[in-house]
Chains A and B, each alone.
Chain A
Amino acid sequence: MNIVVLVKQVPDTWAERRLRDDDKTLDRESGDAVINEIDEYAVEEALRLQEKHGGEVTVLSMGPPRAIETIRKALAMGVDKAVHLTDDALHGSCAPQTSLALAAVLGTLEYDLVICGSEAVDARVSAMGALLAERLGVPQLTGARKVEVDGTTVRIERQTENGYDVVEAATPAVISVVEKINDPRYPSFKGIMAAKKKPLRTLSVADAGIDPAQVGLAGATSEVVEFTARPPREAGRVVRDEGDGGVKLADYLASQKII
């Protein structure tokens, strides 16, 4: 069974994140960047499925040149090979455009499953799995907290607000995973060394057969008009509990007409 796992490089949430003043896109150059955390769970799930069912795992990432660090992390965890879609023409792509570009590359790869994360922490669109399923015309198995494969049948538990749905489809299919699904492994020293020698294909927009007019800021389907830092919340009142902390809190809630 061949799996393509999608990973995205995102600004570290611990660091200060900002939009660029010039074109109002996310600043992906300054500041620390890390693998989107849920994507580690996607990689882990791909590797576990490979351990059970064989085949090859390929990591695919679209992002600026530095996204190679994120690809290396997936390779160090055990992924076999990598494809990096990188081109200045992709800068500022919106979610539908990103799905178009990723789908174009996926169209050239052999896969039974595409596995991605449920949400990227930078833009929090939380729809890439659905967008890709739509573009590729394959079943959407998203929000998975458990995945089971039996031949060409894939069954997932899709996490819902108050439980889960059991959903089934035939391969090829797109899966997105939530954090609950597994505990990602740490790359071993051996894995990190091996990652450097694994096959990596770097594709430009032209290499992938993507029409440059269909991607990037100029043709994006939505735009940021303006942005500003949120004004800090007005400092509230903090009291020390002197045996009446609960009562004081109740007084406050009453003063706000909440109780």
Chain B
Amino acid sequence: MAEVLVLVEHAAGAAKKVTFELLTAARRLGEPSAVILGAPGTAGAITDRLAEYGAAKIYLGESDDIDGYLVAPKAEALAALVADRQPAAVLVAASAEGKEIAGRLAVKTGSGFVADAVDIDSEGTATQSVFGGATIVWSRVTKGTPIFTVRPNSVAAKPEPAAGAVEEVSVQVSAAAKGARVIERVVEDKGSRPDLTEASIVVSGGRGMGGPENFSLVEALADSLGAAVGASRAATDAGWYPHQNQVGQTGVTVSPQLYVAVGISGAIQHRAGMQTSKTIVAVNKDPEAPIFELADFGVVGDLFQVVPQLTEEIVKRKA
């Protein structure tokens, strides 16, 4: 069966959820081989779970240069594997870095790529959700090795055990790929909440929160659900919540099982980042707010009443 390369997204010694989604999608196109690129010692506990989700092979390329320089070494290592293995396709997560790796890989291999696919069928046709989610597009790569970046939370991960034979590959990073040196990686108050793009529930607050201090209400609700916290641009622009939590056209795109919009009107640019969420609920005091057009369930009311009650109720029911 044709080999399909899947680039493993990992952080802190664990594969991110999107990796299993990529493996699941890759199985439709052929036999997945997972590719782990990282500093020495990265593979650790990752490999078992990759096999569980269908990785017949696991290519392991470990080098300090991978983490020491931005993006280019990963693209180079992946390109070397593509040249060597001639895979039927390459799947990469549609994270900021994943999109850049895929783009560079496309140039290196003279291939095309599909950005931010929400689905891929067995023929290699990808589904994309464009124009703020208003239009669905089916597209495919017509040159070289098809490369896809896949939006996290779009494909449901399903286990299907495979051999997971580990094969070490040597990584030689060229001088050209060592142009942008990573001096430091700084983690800002990450806390224990899940990553925004990976979370299966996202609770977002908007201008209706009224000020930074009230975001504790959104955080408490998020924590009761095990959710990540997002914000509208009105809230991030005002400095109420960190910019990296912004959901929307100029922020991150999320596609969780449940999206809770609190004090958010639902402007088209906000929708662009959350429209493909499976279930959407909203709390807003304005019955005319456009967010209610998308919501599966909406409460017209004061968030300062509704949200604490909701949090309390969830905590009670979960106890």
Contacts and interface: CB of A to CB of B under 8 A. Distances in A.
Interface of A: 13-14, 17-19, 37-38, 94-96, 99, 118-119, 121, 123-131, 133-135, 137-143, 145, 155, 158-170, 173, 178-180, 220-230, 233-241, 243-250, 252-254, 256, 258-259
Interface residues of B, number: 94
Contacts of B180: 139-141, 167-169, 173
Contacts of A252: 281, 296-297
Contacts of A226: 137-138
B70 interface: yes
B140 A95 contact: no
Contacts, number: 287
Contacts of B115: 95, 123-127
Max count, chain B CB within 10 A of own CB: residue among A13, A134, A229: A134
19 contacts: A123-B115, A131-B107, A134-B108, A159-B243, A160-B96, A161-B195, A165-B70, A166-B185, A168-B180, A170-B179, A221-B113, A223-B140, A225-B139, A225-B140, A227-B138, A238-B300, A250-B310, A253-B258, A253-B314
Given A131-B104, A241-B301, A245-B305, A143 B313 contact: no
Given A235-B293, A240-B301, A247-B313, 14 more contacts: A94-B112, A130-B101, A135-B107, A162-B188, A168-B183, A220-B143, A221-B112, A222-B113, A223-B140, A230-B136, A236-B298, A239-B298, A241-B306, A246-B305
B139 A246 contact: no
A259 B225 contact: yes
Contact of B186 (A127, A142, A165, A239): A165
Contacts of A246: 299, 305-313
Interface in B81-137: 95-96, 99-104, 106-108, 111-116, 125, 129-137
A37 B116 contact: no
Contacts of A240: 287, 299-301
Looking at chain B's contact residues, the main secondary structure is: mixed
Contacts of A179: 243, 250
B205 to A, nearest CB: 15
Contact of B142 (A137, A222, A230): A222
Nearest to B139: A224
Interface of B: 70-72, 75, 95-96, 99-104, 106-108, 111-116, 125, 129-144, 176, 179-188, 190, 195-197, 201, 225, 243-244, 249-250, 252, 257-258, 268-269, 272, 275, 279-281, 283, 287, 292-302, 305-314, 317-318
Contacts of A239: 297-300
Contacts of A180: 243
A interface, over-half SS? mixed
A230 B129 contact: yes
Contact of A99 (B107, B269, B307): B107
Contacts of A170: 179
B296 A236 contact: yes
A38 B183 contact: no
A178 B313 CA distance: 39
Contacts of A228: 135-136
A224 B107 CA distance: 20
A137 B133 contact: no
A111 to B, nearest CB: 15
Given A38-B250, A138-B179, A126 B96 contact: yes
B102 A249 contact: no
A183 B293 CA distance: 32
Contacts of A249: 281, 283, 297, 299, 306, 310, 313
A220 B130 CA distance: 19
Contact of A140 (B143, B179, B294): B179
Given A140-B180, A238-B287, A131 B103 contact: yes
Contacts of B70: 139-142, 158, 165, 167
A163 B100 contact: no
Contacts of A237: 296-298
B314 A130 contact: no
B136 A162 contact: no
Contacts of B299: 238-241, 245-246, 248-249
A76 to B, nearest CB: 22
A135 B107 CA distance: 7
Contacts of A133: 72, 104, 179
B221 to A, nearest CB: 10
